[in-house]
Amino acid sequence: MVKVESLSREEVALREKKSKLVEITRGVLGINTSQQIYLGIGTIGIGHYSSEAPGHPIFIDPRINCVHVESKSYFEEAMKLATAYEQAFPGEEFTVKKEYE
């Protein structure tokens, strides 16, 4: 027999938070033809075209308040995002995780 479940309160809250983060991201970075926001299950990816950091150089995980950055080229953008997120969610701390050496 197939079991049907509704979203939990936590899942609804995470979706709302994710939507707010996307809105903030658009405002902070300004989205143009070289920048795209990709929504995954539980994460937000920001794709930029760059030979140094192809693909999605910034990922946001709203479950753990972490902004992952894959290239030095995008570190400042990641810091701006984390700062804006902290202002939008008082009492929550966001971390920028450098995924490069």
Please give the helix or strand (H or E) that residue 85 lies within, else none. Answer: helix 75-88
Token representation of residue 11: 């899942």
DSSP state for residue 72 in the 8-state scheme: G
The values of phi and psi at residue 70, to 5°, are: -100, 0
State the amino acid at position 66 in one-letter form.
C
Three-state DSSP at 44 gives strand
Rounded CA gap, 79 and 20, in Å?
A: 17
**Average pLDDT score over residue span 20-26:** 92
What is the structure's pLDDT at 42? 78
**Tens-place pLDDT, residues 66-82:** 999 988 888 999 999 99
Q: How many CB atoms lie within 10 A of CB 17?
A: 17
**Average pLDDT score over residue span 59-71:** 94
**Tens-place pLDDT, residues 27-50:** 898 866 445 788 887 788 887 756
Provide the whole-model pTM: 0.84
Q: Is residue 89 scored above 60 in pLDDT?
A: yes
- Per-residue pLDDT band for 53 (boundaries 50, 70, 90) equals low
